[in-house]
Each structure stands twice: as C-alpha cells, then as structure tokens.
A and B are shown apart, each in its own frame.
Chain A
Amino acid sequence: MSQRINPELKKELLKFGAKDWNDCYHCGNCTATCQLTEREILFPRKAIRQAQMGLTESLASNADPWLCYYCGDCSDTCPRDANPGEIMMTLRRYLTSVYDWTGFSGMLYKSAKAHIVVMLVLFLSVVAAFLIFGGPMITELTSDGGVRLNTFAPAEIIAGIDHIVLLTLSFFLLTNMINMYYKVVLKDKTVHIPWYLYFTEIGEALLNFGTQLRFSKCNKSRMYWFGHWFLMIGYVTMFVLIIFFLSWFQTDNINVWYHPQRLIGYIITAGFLFGTIFFMIGRIRKKKQIFKHSHHSDWIFVVLLFLVAFSGILIHIFRINGLPFATYYTYVAHLAFEIPMVVTFVAFSKWSHLAYRPLAIYFSNMKKKTRELQLKSKLSVSY
C-alpha cells in the first residue's frame, strides 16, 4: 500500500507531548515486555515505527495505542530511555485529534493556553447564566432543616440543560466514533470483516468497558487499575444519574443516610476522590513511570475532576446543615467546574478514551478473528 510520508509529523507529535522518541533503535524490547501484546498486535514498537517514519495514514488506521493502559513496564526497561509508554500516550492524544473532525481537539491538546481560555469562558458563562437566570435565593429551610436548592436551581431545568449539552456532545462524540470506525476498519483494505463478527465480538468490548480486565492483566500493582476503574465507574454512574435521574438525585428533602440516593452518592464521590487524589499525588511524586510525564490535559482533567467532586461534597454538607448561601454559591461553582470539564473533555480530549478504548478492543478483535479466518481459508485451499 503506497502512502504519502509526512515529514512534519514529528513536529506535530512533539506538540502532543512526545519526548525523546527518536532515540528508539527498534530492538523490540517494549513489544516483548508488554503483557498485552499478541501474535497479531505488536505494540508499541509498530506504532513508534509508523510515527518515526511519518506514516500518517497507517497511524490513523492503527488502533493499537488504545489497547495500551500505560503500565510503564516498557519505559522502565527500554534500553534507550525512549519512553515507549509515553509515546503511546502521545499517540492517543494525537489519534483523538485525528478522529475529531472539528479540529477543536487538536487545539485543546496542542495549546495549554487555548484549553484554559476555553474553560475560563465556559466557567464565566455558567456563572453569568446563574446571575441572570438563577431562581430566588431563599433562606427559609425545609421542614427537616435542609436548603431549598430546587427553588434556586430547579432540577427539571438543570436536567433540561444537561440534556441539551448531552445531545450536542453525543453528536460530536458519535461522529468522531464513526470517523474512527471509518479510519480503522473501512480504510484498512487488508481485512474484510464478515458481518456476524460485529455481533460476536461486542461482548468482550463491553466487558472490558465495565471491568477493564485487560488493564488488570498488565500491571503487577493492582492499585493503579483499581484507582482507574473506581474513577471510571464513579463517573459513568454519576453521568447516568445526572442526565436521567437528576430530579431523584437532586432533592430538597434529606433522606436517611442508608437511603440508596445518599449511599450511591457517597460511593461515587469516594471513587472520584480516591481516583483523583491518587492520580494527583502520583503526578506530583513522579515515582512511577506512568506519572513521570504530565501533559497539561492530564493536570487540567484531574484537578477539575477533583474540584467537581469536592464542591459536590460541600453542597451536600451545606445543604443538609441548612446553610443556604454557602449551598447556592458552591452549587454555582460546582456547575461552573463541571460544564467546562464535560464540554472540553468528553468528546474532544482525555475523557473520550472512554469510548475509543472499547471500540479499539472491539475493532482489533474483529480484525484478529478475520485474519485467522483468512489464514484458515488460505490453508484449506493449499491442502
């Protein structure tokens, strides 16, 4: 397959956070070290090779970087200190921008300034929206001593805004996912996936989405897998609650502590706090390979997520203790942190790997099966 070489790719990838990757002399140590490498899926070296050679098309159709969870074994043992793990991370950022047809993602990734400016604008517009459209701030408490939050910010209206945001972001994320499908599957002319594989292979992808079992395979320290999984599951549950059950979740009456609404909230928040604090400490201490190199998107993401969780807890505490103004202000702050995070990260940045990673597993499993079938048919002809 002929393709055009892009000599500028190197400069481009540097903007996405790559470091020292030209040091790679292709000994294959990283591929052999990685516990997720399979006979057909040779990463990270293959992707590094494509990146070094400027093969943009091959890279775009290569979903391998998504299969990596960055345990750091390859970087630890790399004889050239070429940081294969970090190159895979960079390629994931790069691929996110490749799948994103709007170009917004590339902008956010390449420039920390742009990302911060976008977030500030969103932050201020949320605050402004509350100043203009916010309900009355009633100091009068409910019968059981809680704050009447739903008068200030009625759950139905917030849920409505949530739905609009969700629909818009889903549109972008879905089109990006379709773009990924086009680039990874349709443009790859070497495999022709039979239709039934689309159904048989979906199970493992979903299983991995829910459990991240592949991740637990790759690192000896389970802590990192747990932090990652807990954060992910917390976020997804929170997402579902906020979008579909906001009026159940955001109530004025104070339930008993073992009520499912409070229990679920506590567990989710624990997931958030555990995950974000674990990652923040890791990124500050830089002891483990995965935390050694932090891109601005990593920091913004984890800090925002922490602020969202933290302000969420404050709202809860203030509300049940009947502190009306504190509740209202933190509520505004909570949304002002949450909206920028959701808007910039879900479809255009780090958080989109939630969708791309299971898709990549799905696609590569299908490709793998197809290749096996092709090999079988070839063999049967020759015998």
Chain B
Amino acid sequence: MRTQETTGMFLYHPGNGHLDKLNFTELFAYSESHEDVAVVWDSKTFPLWDIEYLKSQIQKYKLSRIIIAGYDTGMVKPIFARVFSNLQLNVENILLEDFKEHGILESGNTELGKALLSCAIYNVALEDILPDEEKKVCTETLIIGAGIAGIQAALEIANANHKVHLIERTGTIGGHMAMFDKTFPTLDCAACILTPKMVEIGQHPSINLLTYSEVQSVTGTPGNFKVKVLQKARRVSLSKCIGCGSCAEKCPGKARSEFDVGTTFRKAIYIPFPQAVPNKYLIDAEACRYVQGKKCGVCVKNCPVPGCIDLDEKDSEIELCVGNIIIATGFKTFEATKLANYGYGSFPNVLTSLEFERLTNAAGPTEGKITFRTQNKKGDWIFSPQSDSPERVGIIHCVGSRDINHNQYCSRVCCMYSLKLAHLVKEKIPDAEVYEYYIDMRSFGKGYEAFYERIKSEGVHLLRGKPAEVRMDENNLIIRSEDIDGRRLLEQKVDMVILSVGLEPAAGSAEIAKLCGVTTDSDGWMDEANYVTSPVNTFAEGVLIAGLCQGPKDIPDTVAQASAAASEVLQHIVRTSMRKNIPELPLAEIRTRAKNLSLKMEDRK
C-alpha cells in the first residue's frame, strides 16, 4: 500500500452459509475503525447491481484501492474491475481476501479474520509478519513404515543429504508393493522397479534403517521430537550374517510365510524373500523351537560365522531425536472371511487378490504357475506347482468396499488391479475364461481407460452386477449374480474365484496416529490438513502423512504424495525453524507489524 492511496473495503458474504461461523458485525466494526480504511461496505446492504451508484461512491471517497474480503470474492471482482477501468483507476488495486485461508472458515476464528483484514489493508501476507521461533529444527527425520511411500520419502530426503531414520515393523522393507506381480496400467514388474530403490535404501549413507522395530512413544515439540523405538530381537546379527542360508536348511521350525500371505511355509529362521533389504536372516520367535523352550540350536551349529546367531538376544530400546515425522504405515487388505456368502476360508479355491498376486508371481510359491490350492501330504492347504490349472476364473470386485455393512468407501485400486489380474490369467492360461463381476468400472487415471479397453479386447467377460453368493457343487464353484447388462440371472460355474478385497488402514496405524497426535476419520484413515490443498500436512505440526495411511490410492499417487511429504520436510529443515502459531500474536501487534512491513516494502521501491 502506498501512503497516498485511499482504501475501501467491501465485505462480501454470498449468503450460502460458508461464513456463518464468523462474526461479521465485528469484522465490519473493526474495518470501519481502522485508520487506513476510508469506507467499508457490507454486501448485504450495498446495492452492488447499481453500477452508477458504485461509481459515484468510489468518486465520493476518492478510492484508489479496494479490498474485497469474504468468500468466493472472485465472483464480484469483475463488477469492481469494470468500474475501476471506467474511472481510469488501476485494476490491479482490487485485492481479494478470502477467509478460506488459514482455516478461518472451519474454525470460525473472527480474531484471525481481523488479522487477515489488517494484513490485506497493508497488502502484506500474514505469514510474512510472523516472527520465527527461536528453537531450531532438528534436521533428522523419522519415517514410520518402509513401503513404497516410506522408501520414496526417505530417498528424497536422504538425497538432499539429510539424515533419515526409516522404521519398519517387519524384517524387510518393501511393503505390499514387493508382493505384487505387476503394476497397472503399464504392467511393469513390481519387483523390478521397486528393488533398485530398496537396494539404494540399504546402501545409502544418510539412511539409518531400523527393520523389525516399532515406535514406542513420541514426546517433545515440533522440530524436536524424542522418539523411543523398540528394536525387536532378530537373534541374527545384522553385521555378521552373510545370508548364506545354511541355518535355514536344517531348521526344524515351520510357519506360514507372511510374504506369501500364508500360501506357503517358511522356516523359523528365515529371510522374508530373496530380494529382502536387509538381506539378512532373522528368527521368528513363535516358531523357533529353542525360543519356545524346546531343545534345539541347529542353526547355531550350522552357521559358518561364529557369534552370528544369538538365540538369547533380547529386545532393545533406542531413543532418536528427530525434527519431522512422516507416517507411511500403509494398509491391510479387507478380511474376506467376514463375507461368509463368498465362501472364503471354506472353499479352498476362493482366493483373495493378494494371494493370487503371490500365486502368479514368478518368485511365488508356484514360480508363477496359476494352480489350484491343494492339500499336501500333511493336510495343509498350499499352492504347489504340481497341481492343475483352472480353466474358468471369476473375479469379484468391491469385496468389502462400497458396502454399508463393511466399508462404505471405494478402495480405488480394486477395479484396476482386478483388470490386471484378468490379464495375467489370460496371459498365463490363454484358453481360460475370465469373468469379472463389477458394480461400476472405475478406471480413473492416466492410461487406465485404455487399459480397460485393452482387457476387454482380450476377451475377458465383464459382467455388471454384484454377486450375492459363491457356492460349491461337486466340481465347480458357482457364482450367483444378476447379469445386469444381459438382463438375466446368472449362475456361472467357475474353477477359481478371486476376491478383489478392499483396503483398510494397517493394523496398529491407529496407535501410531495417536502417538503422533494425528487424528483419524471414521474409517481409520489419517486426517490431512486439507484434502485439496495440503494433502500431506496434518493438524499436528511437524508430522506428515504419505501413502495409504491417508486413504486408498494407487502406487503412482502414493509415490507422488511421498515426494510431497519429503519436500515439506525439506522446507522445514531449510528454514531451520517452525512457524509460530498464528493466533498467538495479539491483534494490535499484527497491525503494527503489517504497517511497518508495508512501509519497509514501500521504501525499497
């Protein structure tokens, strides 16, 4: 603002209820009492449609600047612009001040609204007049969860030469993406694009990788968090293990492999999967005979490195000091047994999509051969490469999603991954008939619709209609559904059913959110500060979210959000300070600061 300018204020409230929380009479009185405002008009009483009147008023007060404050202020700007250009005034002097900013609308904070008006009058940004807090931000960052989101964010920050502590609950990083066979819509091999990043994490000098660890507590203030981390006992030394595998060869303990979603068995001393990072063995305490109190120790005898395996190792606790926290805890899939009518858990060849993902993976239990789940000699149901392949496969969408009885939201990825699975079946068993049952086909992204068209052209039967039940006769599974486009009731006989299960917040994510002071919505997804304009910030300063913990999304979006979170962290680090909370300054203080800053800026010109 230049000192010779005369400013008018137009308070615009469109009457759609958005501004109801604000006390407009107070705002009006405040602006009127302001020494640098010539006149204040209220849109409720001001006849805005009367252009001539507006003109005469502007001339009367000799206005050269006007501030339109309120909601959707852009709506009325053209009217003022017309009059301004008519009067040969500078149109650039029409300023818009929206109460959407700083969350004023949500909080209904009239005081903050006044501060915003003050700053508008002096044409300075509210952020610019706030003092930087003295406390320095710790440059180290904690990332909780090492799936693709955590990996991406860690690499972005670490590549900027800042220290990252990456915490992972399981024995390896990689998360769900490492389990997938292909990614849609490009059909890239998931492992091929993920493992280079995983290796980079493992070797990066700025990344402190803490696998098999959990966050215990978070204390301190934004910029200086103290985090206690529980390191569960791996019982195999990370530095000494050479990953030779002699220990696992003779190990008598057996458990279902988490990485293969329980479709195969692994030993009690195991490596989660061949490309695991860190590529070191660890011991599953529950399956280990020695830990469970029986006589064993075969692994220690077989290990070629002395002192590598310590069966009596105890859990340990470490404390970290970090400036920012990124939560990337990811998801778990919907528990398909909740839908008894689809027979998951009672019919062996009703699989979840994740199980099928492992089955069709070249590194999976059958080396990529799609086979039936059969009983082995001991009576356990597993996939084995010796079994037959199905000829008819049904894929049921929206299992647990878009259903008021389970999860009401759309899990967003199921349509696309189901199409991908249909393609994989067709690719591996060209003569197979694939029946996809969908409610609506949501192919929403770049290249997704083309992918959908491609799958259609591959001869997959796409049937609109949510199946009501899957039942079994002697040899077949029967899917009963309404074929809506075919106007008939359909009882389709198939050999294998894949349930496209929806996504839910990961187990334990609620506790993590609570520890970090992040709120969650009714479905358990973590709340972002603003869904549209700040999707990685949370209401807890210094705590950011990335990936599935915020809500269902696909891999490209997850990676994008992880990068965004990393950029936010880097901002905090570069500024080396955290912003002081806006409402803490008194209003008069804001006003003088704004005026001084404006004068300073004028001098500069």
Footprint of B on A, CB under 8 Å? 25-29, 31-33, 37-39, 42, 45, 77-81
In the assembly, what is the distance between CA of A40 and CA of B514, in Å?
A: 54
Do B468 and A29 touch (CB < 8 A)?
yes
In the assembly, what is the distance between CA of A27 and CA of B481, in Å?
A: 10
Do A28 and B402 touch (CB < 8 A)?
no
Q: Which of A29, A39, A77, A81 sits near B488, CB closer than 8 Å?
A: A39
**B469 located at the interface, meaning its Cβ lies under 8 Å from any Cβ of chain A in the complex:** yes
Which 7 A/B pairs are nearest by Cβ-Cβ distance?
A28-B482, A32-B468, A28-B465, A79-B403, A31-B482, A27-B466, A33-B468
Do B404 and A33 touch (CB < 8 A)?
no
* Chain B residues numbered 48-63 whose CB sits less than 8 Å from any CB in chain A: none
**B487 located at the interface, meaning its Cβ lies under 8 Å from any Cβ of chain A in the complex:** yes
Do A28 and B466 touch (CB < 8 A)?
yes
Contacts of B484 in A (CB 8 A): 26, 28, 45
Do A79 and B404 touch (CB < 8 A)?
yes
Contacts of A29 in B (CB 8 A): 466-468, 482
Do B404 and A42 touch (CB < 8 A)?
no
Provided the pairs A32-B469, A33-B468, A33-B469 are in contact, do residues A77 and B482 lie with their beta carbons within 8 angstroms?
no
**B489 located at the interface, meaning its Cβ lies under 8 Å from any Cβ of chain A in the complex:** yes
Q: Which of B403, B465, B487 sits near A32, CB closer than 8 Å?
A: B465
Chain B, residue nearest A81 (CB): B404
Contacts of A78 in B (CB 8 A): 404
Using C-beta atoms within 8 Å of the partner chain, give the interface range for chain B.
20 to 34
- 5 example contacts (A-B, Cβ-Cβ < 8 A) are as follows A28-B484, A31-B482, A42-B482, A42-B489, A79-B466
**With contacts A27-B466, A37-B489, A39-B488 known, what are 12 further pairs, Cβ within 8 A?**
A27-B439, A29-B466, A32-B468, A32-B481, A32-B489, A39-B489, A42-B487, A42-B489, A45-B482, A77-B405, A79-B398, A79-B404
Contacts of A28 in B (CB 8 A): 464-466, 481-484
In the assembly, what is the distance between CA of A77 and CA of B466, in Å?
A: 11
Contacts of A42 in B (CB 8 A): 482, 487-489
Contacts of B440 in A (CB 8 A): 25
Chain A, residue nearest B468 (CB): A32
* Chain B residues numbered 438-495 whose CB sits less than 8 Å from any CB in chain A: 439-440, 464-469, 480-484, 487-489
Do B402 and A79 touch (CB < 8 A)?
yes
Distance (whole angstroms) from the CB of A221 to the closest CB of chain B:
17
Contacts of B341 in A (CB 8 A): 77
Footprint of A on B, CB under 8 Å? 341, 398, 402-405, 439-440, 464-469, 480-484, 487-489
Distance (whole angstroms) from the CB of B356 to the closest CB of chain A:
23
Provided the pairs A25-B439, A42-B487, A42-B489 are in contact, do residues A32 and B480 lie with their beta carbons within 8 angstroms?
yes
In the assembly, what is the distance between CA of A85 and CA of B249, in Å?
A: 60
In the assembly, what is the distance between CA of A59 and CA of B488, in Å?
A: 19
Do B465 and A27 touch (CB < 8 A)?
yes
Contacts of A81 in B (CB 8 A): 404
In the assembly, what is the distance between CA of A267 and CA of B484, in Å?
A: 47
**Main SS at interface, chain A:** loop
Provided the pairs A77-B468, A79-B405 are in contact, do residues A32 and B439 lie with their beta carbons within 8 angstroms?
no
Distance (whole angstroms) from the CB of A71 to the closest CB of chain B:
13
Contacts of B398 in A (CB 8 A): 27, 79
In the assembly, what is the distance between CA of A79 and CA of B502, in Å?
A: 14
Contacts of B403 in A (CB 8 A): 79
Do B439 and A38 touch (CB < 8 A)?
no
Distance (whole angstroms) from the CB of A81 to the closest CB of chain B:
5
Chain A, residue nearest B479 (CB): A32
Chain A, residue nearest B484 (CB): A28
Contacts of B487 in A (CB 8 A): 42
Q: Which among B398, B402, B466 has the highest number of chain A CB atoms within 10 Å?
A: B466
In the assembly, what is the distance between CA of A42 and CA of B440, in Å?
A: 19
In the assembly, what is the distance between CA of A16 and CA of B177, in Å?
A: 52
In the assembly, what is the distance between CA of A364 and CA of B483, in Å?
A: 20
In the assembly, what is the distance between CA of A79 and CA of B484, in Å?
A: 16
Contacts of B468 in A (CB 8 A): 29, 31-33, 77
In the assembly, what is the distance between CA of A79 and CA of B483, in Å?
A: 17
Do A32 and B466 touch (CB < 8 A)?
yes
In the assembly, what is the distance between CA of A33 and CA of B398, in Å?
A: 16
Contacts of A39 in B (CB 8 A): 488-489
In the assembly, what is the distance between CA of A376 and CA of B464, in Å?
A: 27
Chain B, residue nearest A25 (CB): B439
Q: Which among B440, B483, B484 has the highest number of chain A CB atoms within 10 Å?
A: B484
In the assembly, what is the distance between CA of A160 and CA of B90, in Å?
A: 97
In the assembly, what is the distance between CA of A81 and CA of B406, in Å?
A: 11
In the assembly, what is the distance between CA of A33 and CA of B465, in Å?
A: 11
In the assembly, what is the distance between CA of A29 and CA of B480, in Å?
A: 9
In the assembly, what is the distance between CA of A33 and CA of B404, in Å?
A: 16
Distance (whole angstroms) from the CB of B411 to the closest CB of chain A:
13
In the assembly, what is the distance between CA of A80 and CA of B404, in Å?
A: 5
Contacts of B464 in A (CB 8 A): 28
In the assembly, what is the distance between CA of A26 and CA of B482, in Å?
A: 10
In the assembly, what is the distance between CA of A56 and CA of B147, in Å?
A: 55
In the assembly, what is the distance between CA of A86 and CA of B440, in Å?
A: 24
Distance (whole angstroms) from the CB of B403 to the closest CB of chain A:
4
Distance (whole angstroms) from the CB of B319 to the closest CB of chain A:
47
In the assembly, what is the distance between CA of A94 and CA of B467, in Å?
A: 29
In the assembly, what is the distance between CA of A39 and CA of B488, in Å?
A: 5
In the assembly, what is the distance between CA of A112 and CA of B440, in Å?
A: 40
Chain B, residue nearest A37 (CB): B489
In the assembly, what is the distance between CA of A78 and CA of B439, in Å?
A: 13
Contacts of A33 in B (CB 8 A): 468-469
Distance (whole angstroms) from the CB of B563 to the closest CB of chain A:
35
Distance (whole angstroms) from the CB of B270 to the closest CB of chain A:
40
Contacts of A80 in B (CB 8 A): 404
Contacts of A32 in B (CB 8 A): 465-469, 480-482, 489
In the assembly, what is the distance between CA of A305 and CA of B290, in Å?
A: 74
Contacts of A25 in B (CB 8 A): 439-440
In the assembly, what is the distance between CA of A198 and CA of B582, in Å?
A: 82
In the assembly, what is the distance between CA of A28 and CA of B487, in Å?
A: 10
Distance (whole angstroms) from the CB of B521 to the closest CB of chain A:
20
In the assembly, what is the distance between CA of A322 and CA of B455, in Å?
A: 85
In the assembly, what is the distance between CA of A80 and CA of B402, in Å?
A: 8
In the assembly, what is the distance between CA of A25 and CA of B408, in Å?
A: 13
Contacts of B404 in A (CB 8 A): 78-81
Contacts of A31 in B (CB 8 A): 465, 468, 482, 489
In the assembly, what is the distance between CA of A42 and CA of B483, in Å?
A: 10
Distance (whole angstroms) from the CB of A326 to the closest CB of chain B:
53
Chain A, residue nearest B437 (CB): A28
Contacts of A45 in B (CB 8 A): 482, 484
Contacts of A26 in B (CB 8 A): 484
In the assembly, what is the distance between CA of A219 and CA of B487, in Å?
A: 25
Chain A, residue nearest B481 (CB): A32
In the assembly, what is the distance between CA of A31 and CA of B403, in Å?
A: 16
In the assembly, what is the distance between CA of A45 and CA of B590, in Å?
A: 62
In the assembly, what is the distance between CA of A37 and CA of B488, in Å?
A: 10
Q: Which among B465, B469, B482 has the highest number of chain A CB atoms within 10 Å?
A: B482
